[in-house]
Structure 1
Amino acid sequence: MRYELTDLKLFLEIAQARSLSAGAAGVHITASSASYRLKNLEQAMGAPLFVRTPRGMDLTPAGEAMLEHVRELFEGVERMHGDVGRYVSGLKGHVRIAANSSALNGFATASIGRFLVLNPDVDADIEERQSETIPAAVLAREVDIGIFAGGTEVGGLEVHRYAMDQLAIVVPSNHVLAAEPEVKLGAALEFDFVCMSRTSSNFLFLRDAAIRVGKPVRARLHAHSFEAVLSLVAAGLGIALVPSSLLAKPPAGIATLRLAEPWARRELNLAVRAEGRLPLFATALLQFLLDDPRVAMTREAP
């Protein structure tokens, strides 16, 4: 059984891209060389690993089984480089994070930024996703760390309680609702909203909640940041649904109402895969996120 690490890397690239030519480009070899290496690997394994279909290169059952082992192998190689590299120049590596908009904007982004300043050899990809999709993305190795609202039935994860947050309705200070201490979502939906972008997890959450109430979201404008949303609310353009973690220093001209819904107070959870040991730098980031005092204090609040 003879094959090289490059052959396994090629196999992984082809499996991910479902294309021989894309896999070859991923390891910087020609398509003909990739085809030769793949044939040798299949001979060494004693089984075909791919079948060619109109959609591209599909894994055979043997290839599916091999893919799990190859992913674990390269995760181990990355951990090895990270563990050895820390003796040379500190933590090194790349970590992928997915979180919903409340976690990203209210808590995680600031913590990740401080961690990267302290660890200049670590890079990060931060992606916003809907909470419902994040646990599966962690399990599928699409991301290393996921932060999402609520629980999950996805198995194979190590889940940590991360933070508590409360969704609120903000209105212009001269709005008819401004004097109210709280509001139900159905009543709020009678008014125009300033919303986050149409692909934001915040807007998609609001849209789905409105569907359950049986009313549409009257979106006058979609903005690309919560800062812009709050400014537009203060200017009188409409009202908005925002996480209360962003309202420690609200801009002048807005009033905050408690959202009187049982789902408005949300537990944010952090998840990693249970069976795989994270690289040293990713473990350090995970602990940094959990230990952030501003985040930890929300877990203790009533």
Structure 2
Amino acid sequence: MLQKNLLRRLDLITLKLFVAVYEEGTLTRAASREAIAVSAASKRLMELEEVLGIGLFVRNAKGMRLTAAGETLLHHARRMLSDLEKMGMELDEHLQGMRGYVRMLANLSAIIQFLPEDLHDFVASHALVKVDLEERPSNGVVQGLVDGVADIGICSEDTDVQGLLSAPYRRDELVVVMRRDHPLAGRTQVAFEDTLGSDYIGLHAASSINMRTQNAARSHGRPLRVRIHVPGFDAMCRMVQADMGIGVLPRRAFDLLGPSLGLKALGLSDAWARRTLILVVRDTGALSPVSQLLFEHLQRHDD
């Protein structure tokens, strides 16, 4: 009975309003965002809760927060709205002569090192395909796939993929980047433990590289002396150049960014410094034909 009521009475305006109330924190701000009168917005939420037979928000002086049932609805509402947005964009692309649209999420390592050439090769053979690529940390890539906001993701192999299907994509090697006047710069390879006396430039806390280096430091019973966190590899190299510390990044990323700044990269002798990046999808059978083509194209680059 509940399912039939939802099909009859649940509409996109109410769903968008529900998400807006969560994101804005108050009914007034949400109504303004969705260009709906506050009274009409309040009525829509009340009717939605009546149809479901359960409260979606806890209302207090500071605003509105979700109940457990509200969190469940939020998960599905976001996925539904994302799917509708994707459908609209794909249909629009067809009107403009495009034949496919793929949404991808990938971590920074994949975007800097491999995807420019791999996507160029794909688009060269499928000129009417559009790829929407967004950078996220590895955990964020997986969550985005779970939430249905992308078709294909690329993350580090040590990420919890939450039941998603995965396949190898590329392998890379992490190196330590430093100035040429650093005491360790005369070496060609170094054990990570030997670097722990230096200040570090760290990537943002959610990055898989940051988590690997933090875990490695803990395994040696020593802290990682992070002086500053930066958002990307280019910022890390500039901070290293400015003598703020040393950093860890993929070798290929260093080859693209480091030499022009006069920096040196040392290989790490530790096994954890060699990684596999993986492709993740919810279900290969549910991929659109063009997403399936791209997934297969990227799989062929496993080296």
| Alignment TM-score > 0.5, same fold | yes
**1:240–1:180: structure 2 CA closer, same or farther, 3 Å change rule?**
same
Count residues with an aligned counterpart: 288
Structure 1 residue 112 displacement after superposition: 7.0
* Residue type of the alignment partner of 2:46: K
Taking the TM superposition and a 5 Å limit, the aligned residue runs for 1:36-75 are 36-43=43-50, 45=51, 47-54=53-60, 56-59=64-67, 61=69, 63=70, 66-67=73-74, 69-75=76-82
**1:32–1:110: structure 2 CA closer, same or farther, 3 Å change rule?**
farther
| Correspondence for 2:266 | 257
Q: Which one of the candidate residues 143, 147, 169 is aligned to 1:162?
A: 169
Q: Does 1:272 align with 2:267?
A: no
**1:243–1:172: structure 2 CA closer, same or farther, 3 Å change rule?**
same
Deviations 1:11-53 (A, max 9, x none): 343355554334323422122111112233344x251342424
Q: Which one of the candidate residues 194, 211, 223 is aligned to 2:218?
A: 211
**1:107–1:21: structure 2 CA closer, same or farther, 3 Å change rule?**
farther
TM-score by length of 1: 0.72
Structure 1 residue 174 displacement after superposition: 4.9
* Residue type of the alignment partner of 1:239: I
| Correspondence for 1:97 | 105
**1:163–1:27: structure 2 CA closer, same or farther, 3 Å change rule?**
same
Deviations 1:213-270 (A, max 9, x none): 2223344665554335435546766433221121335416444322011111011123
TM-score by length of 2: 0.71
Q: Distance in 1 between matches of 2:102 and 2:32?
A: 21
Contact residue 83 and residue 149 of structure 2 kept, 8 A: no
Q: Which one of the candidate residues 111, 134, 156 is aligned to 1:149?
A: 156
Root mean square deviation, CA, Å: 4.1
* Residue type of the alignment partner of 2:53: A
The secondary structure found in structure 2 opposite 1:169 is: strand
Q: Which one of the candidate residues 17, 22, 31 is aligned to 1:24?
A: 31
Q: Distance in 2 between matches of 1:272 and 1:258?
A: 32
Q: Which one of the candidate residues 190, 194, 205 is aligned to 2:197?
A: 190
Q: Distance in 2 between matches of 1:204 and 1:257?
A: 20
Q: Distance in 2 between matches of 1:92 and 1:5?
A: 25
**1:71–1:277: structure 2 CA closer, same or farther, 3 Å change rule?**
farther
Q: Distance in 1 between matches of 2:213 and 2:233?
A: 14
* Residue type of the alignment partner of 1:11: F
Q: Distance in 2 between matches of 1:80 and 1:207?
A: 41
Q: Distance in 2 between matches of 1:137 and 1:81?
A: 19
Percent sequence identity is 27
- Structure 1: runs of 5 or more not aligned: none
Q: Distance in 1 between matches of 2:196 and 2:101?
A: 45
